[in-house]
Structure 1
Amino acid sequence: MPPYPDAQLAAVARQHGVDPSELREVPGGVANRAFTLGDALFLRISRPGYESDLHKEFLVVPTARAAGVLTPEIITYDPTRTVLDTPYLITRRIHGTEPTTLPKTLAQQLATLHHLHQPPAQPANATQAVCSVGVDGLGGLPEDGWGDPWGTVEELVDRGYIDPGTATWLSGWFTRLAEQIEVDGPKVLIHGDVAAHNLLVGPTNDLRALIDWGDAAWAPPATDFAKLPLTQVADLIPDYLNHTHSPTTEHELAAATLWFHLSWALSKLPATPWPNQRHWTAPTTSRLLNLLHFFTTTPPPPWSDLV
């Protein structure tokens, strides 16, 4: 039985001038239930435990839009639990489909987003103004780093997932990658879940919207290339760098991206299988098999130099 009675959803629809008969649920969604409200609006209702993700979206979306990122305008955010017993958010509805190939202008959109750098840390006694536009209002976003892949490798040995010889090889690979990465480089605003199910394109594969900002954070730019297959990333990065003012080279960004793909692939190995999910990284071995596929199909430079 749905957790929200039809009467409550009908009340939300009527508040926004939509006849309840035009309300349709969209399947899928881990953090939220989603509904179309006619042709013009889109409703997302937080599932239990994910309320902070919806609040984060409320904070991040205006900043991203002000920077020029294509993402739907927020119409209403209601955390009061007076109409529904959980927070909900309504945006403009963007009509599009999930892409099957790399969307046009995605590289430019990510470069635009990554121009937003993490603001300097404030002194403990400083008073910070909270605003919906501008990075100064996003200082409370989570901060993601590089993790500890060497620790992951050791744990996998201890738990019997890999043998000591393979662990030595993997640890050496991470050490070589670390020498090619600026680990102390600036952190930028990332979307955090750049994958096909969060992209909407038009009939000619033109990107219309980047949606679902629940994983947004301050992080190395390469983090936003970690949920796309490496075959797509290899095509995306050169175009991305053409739209940035960063001194980062293609080799450095490729090394950083490979770091996340390999690290996250290893971290996923002990996970409990989660079938019937849309995302290609949901199966526990998909990332490792994607790496195997990529590096056995003659990847272009600089990727071929990273093994």
Structure 2
Amino acid sequence: MVAEPDFLEQVAAVARRHGVDPGELKEVAGGVANRGFVLGDELFLRVCRPGYEADLLKETHVVPAARSVGVLTPAIVEYDDSGHLIAAPYVVMERVHGTEPTNLPTGLANQLARLHQLERTLDLSGVGEDGWGDPWRTLDELADRGYLDPGTASWLTGWFTRLAERIDGSGAKVLIHGDVAAHNLLAGPEGELRALIDWGDAAWAPRAMDFAKLPLTQVAVLLPDYLRHSQSPESEEELAAAVLWFHLSWGLAKLPAAPWPGQRHWTAPTTSRMLNILHFFTTAPPQPWSDLT
């Protein structure tokens, strides 16, 4: 392990390499997979933490593809995994000035529609596939372990069966960002989306999965606008059912997890997803959501 003073000197060396005075270098708090540093006014440095090397390399393939269809995401200026300057892979990217939004940023629907144009025929190194999972197996395991009583498990089994009937044929896989959440969005002063960042979770997956890390109240607002811009063959009802599938499936799967305090994303607490679903369906959701229970 590199000592912190030595590591910071390595970061300073990268700054100098790009013509930035180390005095203009500032670390940004947060980041599970990478440590982030502002390099002056125009550049941003991300240094990979151990275990996330493949995700950072994946980003070097995904970001150009996303930018090719007009997705707002910073260009990669340099990727280096040689260990010559920093004893870890790193990327230097364009810096986009913006802040984490507190509300749904305008323009997000259009950006996701652009991204989802990229279908499985495109060969992107390191981008794997993801899918629907098996919630029925999850329910069996939760019931066996005492997290659910048999009656509740049976009710939830029926809910997934009804959702499955609605989303049959909605499995076309597109390129998804994989972590569309407030901490990966940069917005301007008027609430407009300026960038979608951090592509380490990108995958070939059903488009509905890209709406699984936003609260359902926001998804219900976002989907009609998304479909106006999208080439999706799915109706709003089909897409809403598929999004609900992921929220419900992931929420149930997380119930037995250990608490993870101190995280800023809303899905970190073990019960957040399930309580968000409860809140959504008890506050008169619009059509087609109200028919999905």
TM-score (norm 2): 0.97
- Counterpart CA distance in 1 for 2:13 and 2:224 is 48
**Partner of 1:5: helix, strand, or coil?**
helix
- Counterpart CA distance in 1 for 2:25 and 2:249 is 41
Residue matched to 2:219: 233
- Aligned counterpart in structure 2 of residue 59 of structure 1, from 58, 61, 85: 61
**TM superposition shift of 1:140:** 4.3
- Counterpart CA distance in 1 for 2:6 and 2:100 is 27
Matched, 1:157 2:157: no
Kindly provide the amino acid, as one letter, of the partner of residue 246 in structure 1.
S
**Partner of 2:79: helix, strand, or coil?**
strand
The structure-2 alpha-carbon separation of the partners of 1:183 and 1:282, relative to structure 1 and needing over 3 Å to count, comes to: farther
The structure-2 alpha-carbon separation of the partners of 1:88 and 1:82, relative to structure 1 and needing over 3 Å to count, comes to: same
The structure-2 alpha-carbon separation of the partners of 1:143 and 1:21, relative to structure 1 and needing over 3 Å to count, comes to: same
- Counterpart CA distance in 1 for 2:211 and 2:26 is 32
**Partner of 2:186: helix, strand, or coil?**
strand
Matched, 1:256 2:258: no
- Counterpart CA distance in 1 for 2:39 and 2:68 is 25
Residue matched to 2:282: 296
**Conservation of the 8 A alpha-carbon contact between 2:58 and 2:125:** no
Paired positions, count: 291
Aligned-pair identity in percent equals: 70
- Aligned counterpart in structure 1 of residue 115 of structure 2, from 100, 113, 116: 113
Residue matched to 2:198: 212
- Aligned counterpart in structure 1 of residue 84 of structure 2, from 82, 85, 93: 82
Residue matched to 1:71: 73
- Counterpart CA distance in 2 for 1:249 and 1:183 is 11
**TM superposition shift of 1:164:** 0.9
- Aligned counterpart in structure 2 of residue 168 of structure 1, from 154, 160, 164: 154
**Conservation of the 8 A alpha-carbon contact between 2:130 and 2:205:** yes
- Counterpart CA distance in 1 for 2:169 and 2:90 is 37
**Conservation of the 8 A alpha-carbon contact between 2:170 and 2:206:** no
Matched, 1:21 2:7: no
Matched, 1:141 2:143: no
Which 10-residue stretch deviates more, 162-171 or 252-261?
A: 162-171
- Counterpart CA distance in 1 for 2:45 and 2:181 is 21
Matched, 1:32 2:34: yes
**Partner of 2:78: helix, strand, or coil?**
strand
- Counterpart CA distance in 1 for 2:5 and 2:137 is 41
- Counterpart CA distance in 2 for 1:61 and 1:3 is 31
- Counterpart CA distance in 2 for 1:252 and 1:90 is 40
**TM superposition shift of 1:202:** 0.5
- Counterpart CA distance in 1 for 2:120 and 2:185 is 24
**Partner of 1:219: helix, strand, or coil?**
strand
- Aligned counterpart in structure 2 of residue 91 of structure 1, from 80, 85, 93: 93
Kindly provide the amino acid, as one letter, of the partner of residue 186 in structure 2.
L
**TM superposition shift of 1:184:** 5.9
- Counterpart CA distance in 1 for 2:231 and 2:207 is 13
- Aligned counterpart in structure 1 of residue 181 of structure 2, from 195, 205, 216: 195
The structure-2 alpha-carbon separation of the partners of 1:297 and 1:3, relative to structure 1 and needing over 3 Å to count, comes to: farther
Question: Which consecutive unaligned segments of at least 5 residues does structure 2 have?
Answer: none
- Counterpart CA distance in 2 for 1:13 and 1:280 is 34
The structure-2 alpha-carbon separation of the partners of 1:4 and 1:33, relative to structure 1 and needing over 3 Å to count, comes to: farther
- Counterpart CA distance in 2 for 1:54 and 1:78 is 10
Detail structure 1 runs of 4+ shifted over 4 Å in the superposition: none
- Counterpart CA distance in 2 for 1:151 and 1:36 is 45
**CA deviation vs aligned residue, 1:138-183 (integer Å, no higher than 9, x gap):** 1641100000000001111111111111100011100000000035
- Counterpart CA distance in 2 for 1:239 and 1:223 is 17
Kindly provide the amino acid, as one letter, of the partner of residue 90 in structure 2.
Y
- Counterpart CA distance in 2 for 1:182 and 1:225 is 18
Which 10-residue stretch deviates more, 296-305 or 79-88?
A: 79-88
**TM superposition shift of 1:84:** 1.0
- Counterpart CA distance in 2 for 1:190 and 1:3 is 38
